[in-house]
């Protein structure tokens, strides 16, 4: 597509020159997520699609939480089983439960020994109940072992949930991209789209495998710890709750402040990927114009913005943890002080040292989930920012296809009519202004004109890459909007100036448009395209694997392969868009010979700047200012002395001298 014919209306155009406008995302203020609640709900739906894995994960986490909550209770009971034992200094008689009215304690020097007294594995405590110390220790050992095993399985299941979720999301995103109109990919930086497919999806994966399990565990632990604290001591529980509003207030305020940094970080990362992709694909142009330093400066500007934003995001993200830890420690001190006062001065309920220790442990478990959420906040925000960018693409309208006619590509003959076509890429800047063109089946029609005149736009409208604003295009008298796009496009083959080849074998590239073709048909297509000679000289022949974009072949060889692919597809309509403009004269001769066989008995539209390549066209039309300025064959147009003659003289002015 000629760049002069359209201007992207959405993609940022970064100026590579020093002093250029640079990256628009580098401004300080960036909008926070448009609809955070909607993003969370949609993400939960994706997670819920693996419901059996999710249920298994929840059950394991419930078991882990129950086991962990039983630990402090057992620990408190074990502490309460450690009873002060008084020993008569004269008789070594063991005395329990100091009582000043007991005559055995009167006038006798008594030493207090804090030790555990075992009697057949049990100890008779002050309240007369049997508390098995060994049983408590054994139960705690079993619980700790069970927790370790459950955590192991929890990690495995969380990984499965994460990967299945992002597998579904990545497939949905790729499927959506494949159904977007061409205008979307034309108007958005490819690097940014790829960043959403890779970086943003990966961030979602990390959040699910790490942060989501932490959130589930946090909720279960919060509820369980709160219930256990109420059972042990309502008063100390009330004291512990004093710090909760403070935690919620601080986490909410910090969260709102931090969120914008993480959203901006993902946007800058997408812009950085787009710049790298642009640099790699345009490397030769950058080098030939000596713009390496400008390109590096431009990259450094975006990379520096990303660095500063990432530092700010991490700094503010790391603030949350210490603040929450401080509040948790404050709560710990308040509970310990309250419990000590209740023992020293008395208070409601029968509180013990073991109960206080259990309360302290439960308070830690109560504040730990808040700290976990705080520590995972940066991961969660990054994932939500990435998920929102993913859903932005998923919410884009798909390519419209109103075609309902039951017609096969083989039934199309190739008569084409452009009737009063009006079109613009940008509102108020028309490209075509009432263009009319008639092409008969089997006719070879060349379209010429100055850059930006609308030549390639004619092809884009015929293939329905874009939709006409006004007028209609018919094929065999049928409005192309009534034809299914798949049917229309299968009847058309395009050979572009910049060939598109895939990282696969030569055989697979030739058979791309017709994978059901036989080996013989594939080789016959290569022969018609004059590609068989160089293919058979390759060590692996048709099994030769092409590098990315076929870079291990010459430009002419790549063009011959694209022609072979078009021959095998056997289209009714053929479009040649500057197919020989970037090769040398000798290679052009071979390509021209191949195209003669390709165009035989097919309706052919040829877009060309080299007028020497279209002299034998049945009709040559000159597009100027969005309309057909003149048409005829080569000799007629030269004799007319109009626009074509002017183009021809300008192109070959140097030959006569």
Q: Tell me, what's the pLDDT at 288?
A: 65
Round to whole Å and give the CA distance between 533 and 519. 16
Taking residues 190-216, what's their average pLDDT? Answer: 80
Using CA atoms, how far residue 142 sits from 134, 145, 183, in Å, is 12, 5, 63
Task: Please state, rounded to an integer, the average pLDDT across all residues of the chain.
Answer: 77
Instruction: State yes or no: pLDDT of 365 exceeds 60.
Output: yes
Give the SS3 label for residue 31.
coil
Round to whole Å and give the CA distance between 444 and 455. 15
Instruction: State yes or no: pLDDT of 6 exceeds 60.
Output: no
pLDDT in tens, 566-597: 888 888 898 888 766 555 666 667 677 777 77
Q: Tell me, what's the pLDDT at 522?
A: 92
Instruction: State yes or no: pLDDT of 456 exceeds 60.
Output: yes
Instruction: State yes or no: pLDDT of 384 exceeds 70.
Output: yes
Structure tokens at 38: 């909607």
Instruction: State yes or no: pLDDT of 241 exceeds 70.
Output: yes
Instruction: State yes or no: pLDDT of 379 exceeds 80.
Output: no
Round to whole Å and give the CA distance between 349 and 345. 12
Identity of the highest mean pLDDT range in 69-83, 136-150, 203-217: 136-150
pLDDT in tens, 603-618: 989 887 777 778 888 9
Taking residues 166-193, what's their average pLDDT? Answer: 85
pLDDT higher at 79 or 189: 189
Query: In this structure, are residues 75 and 140 in contact, taking their beta carbons and an 8 Å threshold?
Result: yes
pLDDT in tens, 112-153: 444 333 333 333 343 333 345 667 778 888 888 888 888 888
Q: Tell me, what's the pLDDT at 112?
A: 46
Taking residues 385-392, what's their average pLDDT? Answer: 86
Instruction: State yes or no: pLDDT of 19 exceeds 50.
Output: no
DSSP string, 570-630: --SEEEEESTTTTS-HHHHHHHHHHHHHHHTTSEEEEE-S-GGGGTT-SEEEEEETTEEEE
Q: Tell me, what's the pLDDT at 473?
A: 93
pLDDT higher at 513 or 550: 513
pLDDT in tens, 289-319: 677 788 888 888 888 888 888 887 777 767 7
Instruction: State yes or no: pLDDT of 287 exceeds 80.
Output: no
pLDDT higher at 541 or 279: 541
Residue 94, beta-bridge partner list: 87
pLDDT higher at 534 or 50: 534
Task: Band the pLDDT of 480: cuts 50, 70, 90.
Answer: very high
Taking residues 484-488, what's their average pLDDT? Answer: 89
Instruction: State yes or no: pLDDT of 474 exceeds 90.
Output: yes
Q: Tell me, what's the pLDDT at 204?
A: 85
Query: In this structure, are residues 188 and 9 in contact, taking their beta carbons and an 8 Å threshold?
Result: no
Round to whole Å and give the CA distance between 365 and 52. 28
Give the SS3 label for residue 116.
coil
Taking residues 17-34, what's their average pLDDT? Answer: 36
Q: Is 499 exposed, middle or buried (0-12, 13-18, 19+ CB in 10 A)?
A: buried
Give the rounded percent of residues in the chain with a pLDDT score beyond 70: 81
Q: Tell me, what's the pLDDT at 619?
A: 92
Least confident range from 121-135, 158-172, 230-244, 637-651: namely 121-135
Q: Tell me, what's the pLDDT at 101?
A: 65
Residue 186, H or E segment: helix 182-186
Predicted TM-score (pTM) above 0.75: no
């Amino acid at each position: 597509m000629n760049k002069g014919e359209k201007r992207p209306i959405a993609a940022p155009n970064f100026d590579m020159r020093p002093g250029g406008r640079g990256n628009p995302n580098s401004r300080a203020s960036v909008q926070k997520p448009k609809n955070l609640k909607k993003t969370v709900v949609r993400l939960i739906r994706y997670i819920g699609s693996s419901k059996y894995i999710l249920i298994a994960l929840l059950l394991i986490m419930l078991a882990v939480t129950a086991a962990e909550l039983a630990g402090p209770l057992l620990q408190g009971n074990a502490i309460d089983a450690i009873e002060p034992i008084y020993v008569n200094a004269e008789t070594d008689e063991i005395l329990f439960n100091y009582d000043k009215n007991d005559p055995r304690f009167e006038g006798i020097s008594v030493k207090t020994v804090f030790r555990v007294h075992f009697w057949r594995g049990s100890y008779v405590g002050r309240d007369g109940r049997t508390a098995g110390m060994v049983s408590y220790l054994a139960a705690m050992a079993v619980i700790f072992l069970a927790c370790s095993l459950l955590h192991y399985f929890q990690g495995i299941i969380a990984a499965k949930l994460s990967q299945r979720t992002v597998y579904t999301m990545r497939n949905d995103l790729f499927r959506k991209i494949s159904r977007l109109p061409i205008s979307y990919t034309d108007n958005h930086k490819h690097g940014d789209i790829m960043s959403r497919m890779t970086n943003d999806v990966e961030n979602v994966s990390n959040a699910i495998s790490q942060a989501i399990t932490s959130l589930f565990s946090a909720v279960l632990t919060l509820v369980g710890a709160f219930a256990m604290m109420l059972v042990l001591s309502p008063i100390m529980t009330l004291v512990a709750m004093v710090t909760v509003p403070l935690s919620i207030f601080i986490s909410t305020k910090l969260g709102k402040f931090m969120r914008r940094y993480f959203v901006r970080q993902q946007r800058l990362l997408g812009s950085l990927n787009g710049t790298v992709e642009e640099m790699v694909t345009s490397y030769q142009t950058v080098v030939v114009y000596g713009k390496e330093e400008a390109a590096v400066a431009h990259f450094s500007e975006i990379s520096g913005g990303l660095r500063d934003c990432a530092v700010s995001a991490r700094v503010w993200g790391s603030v949350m943890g210490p603040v929450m830890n401080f509040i948790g420690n404050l709560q710990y001190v308040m509970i310990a002080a309250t419990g000590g006062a209740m023992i020293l001065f008395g208070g409601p309920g029968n509180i013990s040292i073991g109960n206080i220790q259990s309360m302290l442990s439960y308070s830690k478990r109560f504040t730990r989930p808040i700290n976990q959420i705080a520590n995972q906040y940066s991961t969660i925000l990054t994932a939500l920012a990435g998920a929102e960018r993913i859903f932005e693409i998923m919410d884009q309208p798909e390519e419209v296809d109103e075609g309902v006619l039951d017609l096969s590509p083989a039934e199309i003959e190739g008569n084409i009519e452009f009737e009063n076509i009006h079109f613009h890429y940008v509102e108020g800047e028309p490209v075509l202004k009432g263009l009319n063109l008639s092409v008969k089946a089997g006719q070879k029609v060349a379209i010429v004109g100055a850059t930006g005149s609308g030549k390639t736009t004619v092809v884009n409208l015929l293939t329905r890459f874009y939709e006409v604003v006004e007028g209609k295009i018919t094929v065999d008298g049928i409005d192309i909007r009534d034809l299914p796009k798949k049917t229309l496009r299968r009847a058309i083959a395009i050979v572009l100036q910049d060939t598109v080849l895939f990282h696969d074998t030569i055989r697979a590239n030739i058979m791309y448009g017709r994978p059901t073709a036989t080996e013989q048909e594939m080789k016959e297509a290569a022969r018609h395209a004059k590609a068989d000679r160089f293919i058979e000289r390759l060590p692996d022949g048709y099994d030769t694997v092409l590098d990315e974009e076929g870079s291990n072949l010459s430009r002419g060889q790549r063009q011959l392969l694209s022609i072979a692919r078009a021959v095998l597809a056997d289209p009714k309509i053929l479009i040649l868009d500057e197919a020989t403009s970037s090769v040398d004269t000798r290679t052009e001769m071979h390509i021209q010979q191949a195209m003669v066989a390709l165009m035989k008995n097919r309706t052919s539209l040829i877009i060309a700047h080299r007028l020497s390549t279209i002299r034998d066209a049945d009709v040559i039309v000159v597009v100027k200012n969005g309309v057909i300025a003149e048409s005829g064959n080569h000799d007629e147009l030269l004799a007319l002395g109009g626009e074509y003659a002017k183009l021809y003289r300008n192109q070959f002015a140097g030959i006569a001298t």
